């Protein structure tokens, strides 16, 4: 892998390579360049996860001609696909070096082992939403209980925006979550459930189930499950697997559905 990165930098395939290296005892994102090619020896492949593609999006915005290489786990690759569809990355200028983070080759969506094995505290099981719950189980609650449990989770929100800031597919120049007419400023928790439902709606056809938002959330709100539910609806209604391909836009599928539904009987 290090050899490949050096090769790409030296022959000009990429202008820079985004990966990880140890910094002050922590594995942190690092930008490897041809000028400091020996640093590539410090390239790290560990369980570290960060949205390198989000950094790539920022860099591409500043210089659209930049050729960017990056380490890509399955979730990174799905995000790259989505960002390509939404014209945030140019697929001719992005070079992913795929890392197999799980025992099998590129695993299907929503099959990440990263979150497994962590115990959820019992109060969440009793009154909130267990972060490890699957969609079917969360759907089994009555409507009233669902409402009470989700509102319990949402009211813990600190409005820190950590979930949005870490999210690889939150790239909007102006974020609705900061629009004062929709989400009133100066309130904690933010207006619920609107704050969370707005973001959930925006994740339709975008969320690639990386789980970083939930990792970032200081209040342990089960965001991944919420957006998985959104992804399930998108899959059921539009037969669209978010992030599976960089060719198929959810919008074109929506167009097909609309035109189909408008066909005369």
The residue (of 4 and 254) whose beta carbon lies closer to ligand SF4 is 254
Instruction: Give the footprint of ligand SF4 on this chain (CB under 6 A).
Output: 157-164, 166-170, 172, 175-177, 199, 202-203, 207-213, 216-219, 221, 223-224, 227
Element (H, E) at 74: helix 74-85
d(CA 32, CA 230) in angstroms, rounded, equals 36
Q: Based on CB atoms, which residue is closest to ligand SF4, 2 or 179?
A: 179
Question: Between 42 and 229, whose beta carbon lies closer to ligand SF4?
Answer: 229
What is the DSSP code (8-state) at residue 173?
Answer: S
- With CA atoms as reference, report the closest residue to 53 among 153, 147, 171: 171
Q: How many CA atoms lie within 13 A of 39 on its CB side?
A: 17
Shortest Å, Cβ 2 to ligand SF4 = 28
Q: Which is nearer to ligand SF4, 68 or 169 (CB)?
A: 169
Half-sphere exposure of 202 (CA within 13 A, CB side): 18
Minimal distance, residue 41 CB to ligand SF4, in Å: 31
Nearest distance in Å: CB 8, ligand SF4? 26
Buried b (16+ CB within 10 A) or exposed e, 221-245: bbbbbbbbebbeebeeebebbbbee
Nearer to ligand SF4, 34 or 110 (CB): 110
Minimum distance, C-beta of residue 220 to ligand SF4, in the bound complex (Å): 8
Rounded to a whole number of angstroms, the minimum distance from the CB of residue 234 to ligand SF4 is: 12
């Amino acid at each position: 892998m290090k050899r490949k990165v050096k090769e790409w930098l030296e022959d000009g395939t990429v202008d820079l390579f985004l990966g990880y290296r140890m910094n002050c005892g922590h594995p942190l994102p690092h930008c490897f360049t041809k000028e400091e090619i020996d640093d590539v020896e410090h390239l790290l492949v560990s369980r570290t996860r960060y949205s390198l593609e989000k950094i790539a999006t920022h860099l591409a915005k500043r210089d659209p001609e930049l050729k960017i290489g990056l380490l890509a786990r399955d979730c990174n690759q799905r995000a790259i696909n989505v960002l390509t569809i939404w014209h945030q990355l140019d697929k001719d200028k992005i070079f992913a070096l795929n890392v197999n983070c799980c025992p099998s080759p590129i695993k299907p969506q929503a099959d990440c082992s990263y979150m497994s094995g962590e115990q959820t505290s019992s109060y969440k099981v009793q009154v909130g939403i267990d972060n490890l719950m699957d969609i079917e189980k969360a759907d089994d609650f009555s409507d009233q209980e669902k409402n009470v449990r989700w509102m319990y989770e949402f009211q813990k929100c600190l409005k820190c925006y950590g979930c949005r800031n870490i999210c690889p597919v939150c790239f909007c120049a102006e974020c609705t979550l900061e629009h004062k007419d929709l989400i009133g400023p100066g309130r904690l928790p933010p207006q619920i459930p609107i704050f969370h439902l707005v973001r959930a709606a925006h994740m339709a056809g975008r969320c690639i189930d990386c789980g970083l938002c939930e990792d970032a959330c200081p209040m342990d709100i089960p965001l991944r499950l919420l957006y998985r539910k959104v992804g399930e609806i998108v899959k059921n209604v539009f037969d669209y697997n978010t992030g599976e391909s960089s060719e198929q836009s959810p919008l074109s599928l929506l167009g097909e559905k609309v035109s189909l539904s408008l066909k005369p009987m």
